[in-house]
Amino acid sequence: MPTSNRQTRRARLAGLILLLLAGAAAAEGPLVVAGGAVRADNAEVFGAFIAALPDADGKIAVISAASGSPVQSAESFIETLGRYDVAAERIVPIALAMTDDDETAFDERQWAGNGTDADEIARLFGVAGIWFTGGDQRRIAATLLDDNGGSTPMLDEIRALHAKGAVIGGTSAGAAIMSNPMITGGEPIVALLGDVASGEPLTMGAGLGFFPIGLVDQHFDARARLGRVAVALGALQSRYRFAVGVDENTAFVYTPGNASIRIVGSGSATLVDGRNADFRRIDGRVSIEGLTVSVLSPGDRFSLADGDYQPARYLEPTVGNEYYDREAVSGGGIALPSTGLSRMLGEELLDNRGSRATERVTVVTQPDTHASAAAGVLFRFRQTDDSLGFWGRDTDGRSRYSVIDVGFDIEPLSVRIDPIPDLEQTAND
At 227-266, the pLDDT tens digits run 999 999 999 999 899 999 999 999 999 999 889 999 999 9
pLDDT of residue 369: 47
Q: What domains are there in the chain, each with its CATH number?
A: 3-310 (3.40.50.880), 318-388+404-417 (no CATH)
Mean of the pLDDT values across residues 394-399?
95
pLDDT of residue 4: 44
pLDDT band at residue 416 under the 50/70/90 scheme: confident
CA pair distance 15, 6, nearest whole angstrom: 14
Residue 370 has pLDDT above 60, yes or no: no
CA pair distance 282, 285, nearest whole angstrom: 5
pLDDT of residue 349: 97
pLDDT of residue 10: 56
Buried-exposed string 89-104: b where 16+ CB fall within 10 A, e elsewhere: ebbbbbbbbbbbbeee
CA pair distance 396, 398, nearest whole angstrom: 6
Q: Which of 138-147, 275-284, 328-337, 340-349 has the lowest mean pLDDT?
A: 328-337
Q: How many CA atoms lie within 13 A of 271 on its CB side?
A: 26
What predicted TM-score, i.e. pTM, was given to this entire model? 0.93
Over the stretch 350-364, which tens digit does the pLDDT of each residue have?
999 999 999 999 988
Q: Decide: residue 337, CB within 10 A, 0-12 exposed, 13-18 middle, 19+ buried.
A: exposed
pLDDT band at residue 25 under the 50/70/90 scheme: very low
pLDDT of residue 2: 40
Residue 286 has pLDDT above 90, yes or no: yes
Residue 333 has pLDDT above 90, yes or no: no
For residue 413, list its beta bridge partners: 376
